Amino acid sequence: MKLLIVVIMSGFLDSKTQIIDAIITQEGKRQLASGQMQIKFATYTDGGSFYQKSIVSGSEDSSVRLYLEAASLPQDQITFEADDSGKLLPFKNAQESIQVVAGNILSGTTFITSSVVSLAGTLLESSLNSFQKQTIIGTKDPFFDEVNFVLGQDNINFTITDNSPISVQADQEINVNLAESLFSDIRLSRLPNYKFLPPVNKAISGEVIGSQLGSFTNPREQDEATIISRIKDNLNKAENSQLMTKINFIEGSRENNIFGQFFERGFNNIKKLDVIDFGEISMKENKANRVFFAGKLVIDDNGMPTFLNIFTLIFE
């Protein structure tokens, strides 16, 4: 799953006609040029508005004033985008002279080889700061008092040893060429582009689908029920081995809309992890839980993409 946000700034050309002067950010232009731009959501902001109080009406009529044309600002880029190798595309901190170029962190014009952890944290915080600077217009829920987002804990630490989380030494290493490619990975089995669709003849009158052209073997060799059972077994084993940590959402909105990004910090670079949305599965007490897989996408010697799962998120 790739989260895509493209910010479009707009303004009014004059005070009489409501013609929107919309421009696309630099990131939006890049995605448009590569054919990847998809507008999913729209928000409105009054960050460029001017309010003047009035004794009679409370505020002066803003329609009689002219405004400047829309302009692209540094805080317009909220999310980090990555290429197919996971390297972050150019991103500049709007508050400080810290930026990412080809996955490497720069301070000014110097590549950073030390103190990457603190600088990466500052860089990632800029995403939230840019979002807050959007001053997005919203409606407060009069029947819901909670307006903050509070987690039960802010940090999670896992101890990796020679015996944990993988105890058998033979299973601690894997050759990428022997791993399941994306086309046979069970984590992608629910996505339309990765479903098993053997070619069929054109349906004739009275038939729902046409007859198969031949005998084709499903590369996964498992149906949906078996795949879900395998995933549930793996999750239960992780919980029983105390390799699972639960985080409680103490405060949030009524809708509990969550936006998240996952990164790996290296010695002098930072990469964005890929996320697969497997969808909902029924876990304990038949409760529907949303499952996400976070990991890396690598290419084997045959040029086939392979997903290496690092950790799993379950939203109850």
pLDDT tens digit sequence for 50-87: 777 777 777 777 667 776 666 777 777 777 777 766 67
Asked if 152 contacts 248 with a C-beta cutoff of 8 angstroms, the reply is yes
What pLDDT, on a 0 to 100 scale, did the predictor assign at position 292?
92
Give residue 8's pLDDT: 46
pLDDT tens figures, 164-182: 777 777 777 888 888 888 8
User: Is the overall model pTM greater than 0.85, yes or no?
Assistant: no
Does the structure show a pLDDT above 70 at 102?
no
Best mean pLDDT range from 53-57, 156-160, 253-257, 290-294: 290-294
Query: What strands lie across the sheet with 305-315, from one edge to the other?
Result: 274-282, 288-299, 305-315
CA distances from 260 to 124, 193, 195, 297, 312 (A): 11, 24, 27, 18, 14
